[in-house]
Amino acid sequence: MIVQKTGIIEWIEMNHKSIEELGFFQVLAHMKAKAMSEEGKRRLDSLGFLHDRDLLVKRQQQVAGAVDLLIGGLSLESFPPIAQTLESLSDPIKQIDCTALLDIALYIRAATHLCQAVHAEREDDSLSKALHSLMSKELSPALLSLQRLVHETLDESAQVRTTHPRLLPLYRQVEAAKTERARFCSQFIKSNVQAVQSEQEALRDGRLVIPVRNDRRAMVQGFISSTSQTGNTVFMEPYALVEMNNNVVLAQNQIQIEIARILKSLNDAARQQRNSMLSLADQVGDLDAIFSIAAWVLEYQAQMTDLDSNKIKLKSARHPLLGKKAVPITISLDDEVKAVVISGPNAGGKTVTIKTVGLFALLNQFCGYLPASHLSSLPLFDAVFTDIGDEQSITEELSTFSGHMKQVGSILGKITQDSLVILDELGSGTDPVEGSALARAILEYCLKKAKLTLVSSHHGVLKQFAYAKKDVINASMEFNEHSHMPTFKVIQGLPGESHALDTARHMKLPLQVIHAAEQYLGSEAVEIGSIIKDLERIRGELKQKEEQMRSRYLSMQKEVKDLELAKLKVKQKEAQLRSEQTTALERFMVEKRKELENLVGELRREELTKEKTRCVKSYLKSLEDKVLESQSIVEEQQNELEGLIDVQDEQLQEGMDVLCGSSKRLGRILKKQGKNKYLVAIDSIRMTIDAKQLSIPRHAQSNVSVSYHSSAPTPKMVLDVRGLTLSDTLQSLEQQIESALVHGMSSFSIIHGYGDGILSKGISQFLEKNRNIKGYRYALPEDGGMGKTYVEL
């Protein structure tokens, strides 16, 4: 049975096989690889699956907080392994070495940084608040003191520092003894040149010795410690040097004794904080496990699941173990659905699909994140039971029918109303008739006992059973009729064919064999297959129409948006015109008010005359004229605003009256010059104008045909003005420009000669001020130089 303690489900041994078949342990291994501590890895193993929704929401929020910190750039430090060290500290006799002591200090330092990162000051609604309960806000002062003590005592190579206050005088004593010994050796060698073999003393086993010639060793009073390989040299310690070497050794031994005492005191300090270290390791393990899950979430782009929903809704679900080969799976089941029968071609993805759902059920209750689109959801199951004969793995031996039945029997005896059951190739491996009957009976039993059952099968009996039951649906794996290959996409509500004959054709089996198989299959089965194919075809057509409708809907949305924008522009223009008109009227009223005051003053001061009467009438007439003028302008502007419509390129036609530019001058379209470009006649001038600068008057008729004639003379390609006065030259040039514009000429040249430069300068000034001129330049030297000017309209 399943044991539940405070919402944590401890999966029983039988379910270990199901979890392994679904690939959860492989996913867990990926998470453990991201852990920064051994405690984090062990905590991942013991996290378990949550069946209590509140506890799962809490864990999901913790993972969300860790994800937020990692996205924000948090970098975690590695934690050295200290479990064995803490075990050794439980024995009062055992002493841990310098490396273990340094690991404890590094562990405390890494934990301090982690604690500071988790509890750093952030916004009030920061997601990281969910992590605060996993680690105390500050480490205990005793642990921090232990860390400082270890770092002050040991260097980075895990050796006691030579500058330690208790070792510094001892090292000085050693150096003094060594200095005295070296001085003696130097003086001895100088005094016994004939007896020594070398001018330099030697070091043997940590003691200085004098190299003496073997044939003259009697000249030296002392002990022989060793000889050279040739025997020509003996290494001797004179009696005085023996004592000096002993003094050095004793001083060095004193250092080792003091180091042992220092390490003993460090061991005692660490042993006193063992319980605090165990508690810290638990906190680090809890946090590290959550951060490991968060790192996995970021790598696989997993999204938070909707734990408030109890529906099965997986959108673009990607199996994390398939990597880039994973085909996104989309499944959405109504609340009343309790079983799904998945059918389709071999190697079409049936097993992967049901394994994906099973694995996602485990991941959902492990961390609340799935490699799927946002707000996917799954119910909470108390257990997941599987019987998967994965024929895709050539390394595994295929199970026998009896083995499958034994597994299924065990599952049927343990399922509850909150269980998920996954049965792959149910009823296979035995007689088809008996196997299909047994498969239907098993499925009916699971419908009564389990929360959800997923079955993959080729049996037509199960497909028909799914059609007859409201709480069971068919699903199939899509098959490409043209390539005769599966697409690995799930189609809900439609049973799938096995496509055995199609696969056989694709594998180049003899046609005689395939035709015989079709005859043996029987007309009824072929007819069912045709019906399924027709349903698949209709589904494809409906999907295509749905895409067309969506495209049309988006297009209409854009049109509505454009119309709203045009309406807004008209309103803005209307407001601008009203504002301008109001300003003009205000200025007019100010002027007329002053004029009225002056007129009234004159009438009061003097007698009324005909001249004054005429002034009064003239004043009143000016007011009346201004009112009529303002009304006329307002009506004209209103008609203009109401008459304007958005112009599309396809609405413009030759011979159509249009309003051109911001001044809205009336013109006629002569012909289309290119994409969104039109040749327009405005009075006697022809211009090429963009369609965006054209608008259609409200009463314009697109079917009016207009023939355009101009009285302007034909322009010249070369205008020769030599011998003319400047005024005649400019008059000829003005006529040339007008004729060129009317007849659509884009450029011409002027021959004016050199002379005194009067014509050249005058023509340049005229062209500079003419708004129809795009540019002008002098000719090249070989073409006339500064005596000829090219003009571009």
Give pLDDT, residue 113: 94
- Strand bridging mode 718-720 / 747-751: parallel
Write the CA distances from 691 to 351, 409, 532, 659, 694, integer angstroms: 60, 78, 54, 11, 5
Spell out a b/e string for 643-662, using b for 16 or more CB atoms within 10 Å of the CB, else e: ebeebeeeebeebbbbbbee
Which pLDDT tens digit goes with each residue over 199-225? 899 998 889 999 999 988 889 899 998
- Strand bridging mode 788-792 / 775-778: antiparallel
Residue 489, number of CB atoms within 10 A of its CB = 18
Give pLDDT, residue 2: 40
Q: Answer yes or no: is pLDDT of 56 > 80.
A: yes
Same domain, 361 and 419: yes
Q: Are the C-beta atoms of residues 36 and 291 closer than 8 Å to each other?
A: yes
Same domain, 469 and 387: yes
Q: Answer yes or no: is pLDDT of 548 > 70.
A: yes
Paired with 348 in beta bridges are: none
Task: Name the band, by pLDDT with cuts 50, 70 and 90, for residue 703.
Answer: very low
User: For residue 189, what are its two tokens?
Assistant: 């060698």
**CATH code for the domain of 142:** 1.10.1420.10
Q: Which residues contact 301 (CB under 8 A, 6 or more apart)?
A: 371
Look at 487 and 682; give whichever has higher pLDDT: 682
Mean pLDDT for all residues in the chain: 81
Q: What percent of the chain has pLDDT over 70?
A: 77
Q: What is the SS3 assignment for 776?
A: strand
Task: Name the band, by pLDDT with cuts 50, 70 and 90, for residue 6.
Answer: very low
Give pLDDT, residue 670: 84
Q: Answer yes or no: is pLDDT of 702 > 50.
A: no
Spell out a b/e string for 48-85, using b for 16 or more CB atoms within 10 Å of the CB, else e: ebbbeeeebeebbbbbbbbbbbbeeebebbebbebeeb
The residue whose two tokens read 């699903």 is: 475
Task: Name the band, by pLDDT with cuts 50, 70 and 90, for residue 350.
Answer: confident
Look at 351 and 663; give whichever has higher pLDDT: 351
Same domain, 332 and 385: yes
User: What's the whole-number mean pLDDT along residues 539-565?
Assistant: 80
Is the pTM higher than 0.85? no
Same domain, 52 and 185: no
Give pLDDT, residue 24: 93
> Measuring CA to CA, which residue among 41, 491, 578 is closest to residue 289?
41
Give pLDDT, residue 80: 95
DSSP string, 57-80: HHHHHHHHHHHHHHHTT--PPP--
Q: Answer yes or no: is pLDDT of 683 > 80.
A: no
Residue 106: inside a domain: yes
Task: Name the band, by pLDDT with cuts 50, 70 and 90, for residue 621.
Answer: low
Same domain, 13 and 157: yes
Same domain, 348 and 292: no
Give the range of the structural domain holding residue 240, as residue numbers without chain letter: 168-247
Alpha-carbon distance of 504 to 510, in angstroms, equals 9
**CATH code for the domain of 209:** 1.10.1420
Q: Which of 352-366, 468-482, 728-742 has the lowest mean pLDDT?
A: 468-482
Alpha-carbon distance of 271 to 193, in angstroms, equals 59
Q: Which of 160-169, 241-250, 267-276, 322-331 has the lowest mean pLDDT?
A: 322-331
User: What's the whole-number mean pLDDT along residues 525-539?
Assistant: 56
Q: What is the SS3 assignment for 777?
A: strand
**CATH code for the domain of 386:** 3.40.50.300
Same domain, 294 and 145: yes
Give pLDDT, residue 500: 57
Give pLDDT, residue 301: 93
Bin 11: left if φ > 0, else alpha if -120 < ψ < 50, else beta.
beta
Which pLDDT tens digit goes with each residue over 626-647? 666 766 665 565 555 544 444 5
Residue 533: inside a domain: no
Q: Answer yes or no: is pLDDT of 525 > 60.
A: no
Give pLDDT, residue 407: 84
> Measuring CA to CA, which residue among 697, 627, 629, 630 is closest to residue 660?
697
Q: Answer yes or no: is pLDDT of 657 > 70.
A: yes
Q: Answer yes or no: is pLDDT of 481 > 90.
A: no
Task: Name the band, by pLDDT with cuts 50, 70 and 90, for residue 343.
Answer: confident
Write the CA distances from 420 to 18, 218, 312, 367, 466, integer angstroms: 11, 98, 12, 18, 18
Q: Are the C-beta atoms of residues 43 and 409 closer than 8 Å to each other?
A: no
Same domain, 742 and 680: no
Q: Answer yes or no: is pLDDT of 468 > 90.
A: no
User: What's the whole-number mean pLDDT along residues 283-289?
Assistant: 95
Q: Which residue, 621, 643, 665, sits at the end of a domain?
A: 643
User: What's the whole-number mean pLDDT along residues 189-208?
Assistant: 90
Q: Which residue, 480, 501, 522, sits at the end of a domain?
A: 501
Write the CA distances from 598 to 602, 604, 619, 621, integer angstroms: 6, 10, 12, 17
Give pLDDT, residue 348: 58
Alpha-carbon distance of 308 to 376, in angstroms, equals 11
Same domain, 329 and 298: no
Same domain, 658 and 638: no
Which pLDDT tens digit goes with each residue over 235-284? 999 999 999 999 999 999 999 999 999 999 999 999 999 999 999 999 99
Q: Which residue, 471, 501, 531, sits at the end of a domain?
A: 501
Residue 189: inside a domain: yes
Residue 32: inside a domain: yes
Residue 518: inside a domain: no
Residue 396: inside a domain: yes
Task: Name the band, by pLDDT with cuts 50, 70 and 90, for residue 188.
Answer: very high
Residue 335: inside a domain: yes
User: What's the whole-number mean pLDDT along residues 501-517?
Assistant: 65
Q: Answer yes or no: is pLDDT of 708 > 50.
A: no
Which pLDDT tens digit goes with each residue over 379-407? 999 999 998 865 444 334 444 577 778 88
Q: Which residues contact 460 (CB under 8 A, 6 or more apart)?
A: 436, 525, 528
Give pLDDT, residue 633: 66
Q: Which of 244-248, 253-257, 419-423, 589-593 has the lowest mean pLDDT?
A: 589-593
Alpha-carbon distance of 639 to 697, in angstroms, equals 9
User: What's the whole-number mean pLDDT along residues 35-46?
Assistant: 94
Count of domains observed in the chain: 6
Amino acid at 369: Y
Give pLDDT, residue 15: 72
User: What's the whole-number mean pLDDT along residues 742-762?
Assistant: 82
Task: Name the band, by pLDDT with cuts 50, 70 and 90, for residue 607.
Answer: low
Residue 253: inside a domain: no
Same domain, 678 and 734: no
Q: Answer yes or no: is pLDDT of 484 > 60.
A: no
Q: What percent of the chain has pLDDT over 90?
A: 35
**CATH code for the domain of 676:** 2.30.30.140
Q: DSSP secondary-structure letter at 708? A: -
Q: Answer yes or no: is pLDDT of 170 > 80.
A: yes
Same domain, 463 and 350: yes
Give pLDDT, residue 13: 42
User: What's the whole-number mean pLDDT along residues 122-146?
Assistant: 87
Alpha-carbon distance of 63 to 368, in angstroms, equals 8
Sign for the CA dihedral angle at 175, 181, 184, 186 comes to: negative
